[in-house]
Amino acid sequence: MAVTADRLVEAFLEMLAAERGSARNTRIAYEQDLGDFAAFTAQRGEGVGKADPAMVRDYMSSLQAVGLSARTAARRLSALRQFHRFLLREGVRTDDPTSLLDTPRLPVSLPKYLSESEVDALLDAARRLPGRTGVLAHAALEILYASGMRVSELLALPRTALSGDAVLLMIRGKGGKDRVVPLSDAAKDAAAALVAGAEPRGRWLFPGRDPRLAMTRQGFFKLLKRVALDAGLDPDRVSPHVLRHSFASHMLARGADLRTLQVLLGHADIATTQIYTHVLAERLQRLIEAHHPLAMQAGPSSRDEMC
């Protein structure tokens, strides 16, 4: 069966949508990464579905040569692995040229998050915005911080998501997987105020300028930057994902465990949740200093002598 390179990529993207329920932005990212690889193989007179291990290695080396970060290179390799496993499964190939490649070593980076007082400042600033904009901004930030959800999950919420006296919110997450998260009273009240003033025929909890459509990610980012400025925070430090990190970090700091946090965040693998262990380490240090017998008995000077 002769299949063009473009058709192979298209079939892979269709599989992501149909079988995995991948979001549009995820499919666009895969399409761009595979398009870059296809251009590389075309320059060498080969189709994207026929590259051998040596060509894949050369491609990965080329990414380093042009100065792409290890994180970007790792994402490109992940896309290639998923693509070639798909070709293997579909019988287009009999081997996987990516199977022996090592993932680029990523630098260890701690998640960026805001302090509790900074989150309070954001919520106050959103509440002060005039009119409908303030009601929408306040509800969005209350729900994001109360649930730790992704911005794509927030903007996909239907208007009926918080109807009645519901204390739990059903979220459709990555890969079409549903999860349930509890909401604070403040988040429920803010959402109720938003719904009360909404267009009666509107479908979305967070509508865009056209109430028939959901608010776009770009529109929400602009609104969040405005709120950050009004709160006296550097807008570059504030994003929906920083609020997600703040939710997770503050929950751990106040006693939540990693397994619970994994469920709330919708992580398929607890290894993803373990990026927040820096908060656990800080909490353990405080517990030792507060409760360990030797720490309580020895003052700073005597501890220095013991060392």
Single out the catalytic residue among 76, 84, 138, 150: 150
Single out the catalytic residue among 85, 203, 226, 241: 241
Can you give the chain as a three-state secondary structure string?
A: CCCCHHHHHHHHHHHHHHHCCCCHHHHHHHHHHHHHHHHHHHHCCCCCCCCCHHHHHHHHHHHHHCCCCHHHHHHHHHHHHHHHHHHHHCCCCCCCCCCCCCCCCCCCCCCCCCCHHHHHHHHHHHHHCCHHHHHHHHHHHHHHHHHCCCHHHHHCCEHHHHCCCCCEEEEECHHHCEEEEECCHHHHHHHHHHHHCCCCCCCECCECCCCCCECCHHHHHHHHHHHHHHCCCCHHHCCHHHHHHHHHHHHHHCCCCHHHHHHHHCCCCHHHHHHHHHHHHHHHHHHHHHHCHHHHHCCHHHHHHHC
Q: What φ, ψ does residue 171 adopt, rounded to 5°?
A: -115, 135
Q: In the annotation, is 127 catalytic?
A: no
d(CA 183, CA 250): 15
Residue 95: Cβ-neighbour burial (10 angstroms; 0-12, 13-18, 19+): exposed
* Residue closest to 181 by CA, chosen among 254, 277, 248: 248
Q: In the annotation, is 267 catalytic?
A: yes
d(CA 60, CA 66): 10
Q: In the annotation, is 150 catalytic?
A: yes
* Residue closest to 215 by CA, chosen among 292, 303, 132: 132
Single out the catalytic residue among 84, 188, 244, 250: 244
Single out the catalytic residue among 50, 174, 203, 217: 174
Q: In the annotation, is 276 catalytic?
A: yes
**Which residues are the active-site residues?**
150, 174, 241, 244, 267, 276
